[in-house]
């Protein structure tokens, strides 16, 4: 029975081989691996793999007829049967590999920089998850995002960022996507992007342009900075509900607010830094007239 125990190097080579991305030197090294012949046989076999047709009525009638006939002793040839199971298991495994996904997560209080197979660079803000299919990346450059991330996309086929509130399509550019609960915001820092919402609203953005989703409409925003402020350790808000500001504080510092005794619908304009939690708390809570008591990672809020 063929068993796949891929180490990290073999896993990388197998992915690049399936995507046709191996250099001549890497291809020669991959061909010298003892498992290479097994991989090649499975891929060749998959080209001829086709699910058999199935007639429910005919199958039922055949089964009933066989139940009515006298039973005869059966002799099972075990070895071919084991081979068949082995081959079927191998096919299921390799098909599973095709649809396998890679997931990156920046936890609360963390940021994460990753490089995709095509060389595109993505920086994840705190409390953000990004995933993509492991294989055939160059044929389908698509990622799923939940949170906030800054993208530097290499030129090539269409690059797509999918969220549950909207989709962004690019050819080669730098842009920021923020998708937090009901908030959806895109800013273009270089090149051109197309933004589409789940309500089929669309806008094409160029450098210096942005949009925010409000009441199912894409409203224009102006991008005046050279990069998102969260990348240099700042979070800025303009007439944002206090709840959104507190949520972002929780993400950046991995803390939890106990907020039942305050009004979170008040609007806040200002910002906080992402480097010092004490300064950040003072920057937000004191101007809003809120007292706070720190108990480890939990912070009790109350009105003054």
The pLDDT of residue 150: 97
User: Are 173 and 188 contacting, i.e. CB atoms less than 8 angstroms apart?
Assistant: yes
Q: Which domains does the chain have, with CATH numbers?
A: 8-98 (no CATH), 101-222 (2.60.120.1440), 233-303 (3.55.50.30)
The percentage of the chain sitting over the pLDDT mark of 90, rounded to a whole number, equals 60
Quote the CA–CA distance of 133 and 103 in Å, as a whole number.
Answer: 9
Tell me the backbone φ, ψ of residue 21, rounded to 5 degrees.
-115, 5
Structure confidence by residue, pLDDT tens digits, 3-25: 344 444 555 556 666 656 667 77
Q: How far is CA 281 from the centre of its chain?
A: 31
Structure confidence by residue, pLDDT tens digits, 193-226: 999 999 999 999 999 999 999 999 999 999 999 9
The residue written with tokens 């081979």 in the block is: 83
Structure confidence by residue, pLDDT tens digits, 111-130: 999 999 889 999 999 999 99
pTM above 0.75, yes or no: no
Confidence band (pLDDT; 50, 70, 90) for 52? Answer: very low
The closest of 96, 98, 169, 90 to 136, measured between CA atoms, is 98
147-152: average pLDDT:
97
User: Are 180 and 188 contacting, i.e. CB atoms less than 8 angstroms apart?
Assistant: no
């Amino acid at each position: 029975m063929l068993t796949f125990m891929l180490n990290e190097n073999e896993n990388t080579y197998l992915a690049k081989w399936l995507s046709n991305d191996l250099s001549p030197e890497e291809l020669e090294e991959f061909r010298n691996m003892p498992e290479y012949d097994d991989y090649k046989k499975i891929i060749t076999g998959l080209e001829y793999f086709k699910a058999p047709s199935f007639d429910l009525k005919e199958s039922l009638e055949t089964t009933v007829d066989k139940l009515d006939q006298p039973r005869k002793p059966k002799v099972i040839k075990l070895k071919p049967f084991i081979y068949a199971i082995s081959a079927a298991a191998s096919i299921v495994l390799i098909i599973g590999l095709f649809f396998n996904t890679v997931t990156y997560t920046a936890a609360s209080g963390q940021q994460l920089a990753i490089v995709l197979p095509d060389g595109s660079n993505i920086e994840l803000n705190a409390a953000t998850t990004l995933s993509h299919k492991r294989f055939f990346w160059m044929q389908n450059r698509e990622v799923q995002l939940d949170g906030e991330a800054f993208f530097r996309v290499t030129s090539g086929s269409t690059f797509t960022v999918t969220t549950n509130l909207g989709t962004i399509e690019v050819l080669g550019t730098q842009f920021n996507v923020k998708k937090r609960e009901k908030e959806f915001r895109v800013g273009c820092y270089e090149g051109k992007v197309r933004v589409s919402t789940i309500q089929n609203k669309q806008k094409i953005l160029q450098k210096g342009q942005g949009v925010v989703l409000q009441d199912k409409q894409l409203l224009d925003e102006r991008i005046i900075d050279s990069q998102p402020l969260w990348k240099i350790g700042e979070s800025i808000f303009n007439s944002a509900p206090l709840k959104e500001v507190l949520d972002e504080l929780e993400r950046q510092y991995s803390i939890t607010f106990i907020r039942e005794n305050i009004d979170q619908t008040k609007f806040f304009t200002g910002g906080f830094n992402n480097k010092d939690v004490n300064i950040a708390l003072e920057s937000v809570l004191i101007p809003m007239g809120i007292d706070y008591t720190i108990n480890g990672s939990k912070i009790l809020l109350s009105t003054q």
